[in-house]
């Protein structure tokens, strides 16, 4: 699936599930990592994570588009478009849009560093390197030691 097919699919889902035209752009954003898609408030465009298509197929993309279209139409109507708003919850359940998508990466798979407490031996995975002179164990306050560096 390319951006043109994604645009057509989004326009079709807008008509089928919401009865209103989608007048902005929908496209894949390869920089998205932790989210399945996002609705941009200023431009009103929808970005989709292509890894969702690769890992989970077209049905996952359809679910994500329906979710983002809920944000889109509620925002344009001036109603509650955020996840916590009642309008959003009602509309997303009405059209069958899931609240969350399946993550493509876990924190453990993204972690680059493993630290261990010198006192209680508690392990900590971190994506970014931490300053072990400043940071301490959250359980006992002991000193952290770098145990392993993962090469992805």
Binding residue positions for Zn(2+):
67, 71
Measured over the CA atoms of residue 141, residue 121, residue 130 and residue 125, the dihedral's sign is negative
Judged by phi (left if over 0) then psi (alpha if -120 to 50, else beta), residue 143 lies in: beta
Q: Which residues are annotated as a binding site?
A: 67, 71
Which structure tokens are listed for 10? Answer: 């989004």
The one catalytic residue in 58, 68, 105, 122 is: 68
Which structure tokens are listed for 138? Answer: 């959250």
Assess whether 68 carries a catalytic annotation: yes
H/E run at residue 66: helix 58-76
Tell me the catalytic residues: 68
């Amino acid at each position: 699936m390319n951006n043109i097919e994604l645009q057509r699919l989004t326009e079709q889902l807008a008509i089928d599930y919401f009865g209103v035209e989608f007048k902005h752009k929908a496209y894949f954003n390869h920089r998205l990592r932790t989210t399945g898609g996002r609705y941009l408030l200023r431009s009103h465009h929808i970005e989709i994570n292509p890894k969702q298509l690769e890992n989970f197929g077209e049905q996952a993309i359809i679910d994500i588009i329906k979710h983002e279209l809920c944000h889109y139409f509620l925002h344009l109507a001036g109603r509650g478009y955020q996840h916590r708003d009642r309008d959003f919850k009602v509309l997303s359940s009405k059209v069958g849009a899931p609240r969350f998508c399946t993550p493509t990466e876990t924190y453990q798979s993204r972690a680059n560093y493993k630290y261990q407490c010198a006192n209680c031996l508690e392990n900590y995975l971190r994506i970014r390197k931490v300053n072990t002179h400043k940071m301490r164990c959250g359980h006992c306050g002991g000193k952290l030691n770098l145990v392993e560096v993962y090469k992805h």
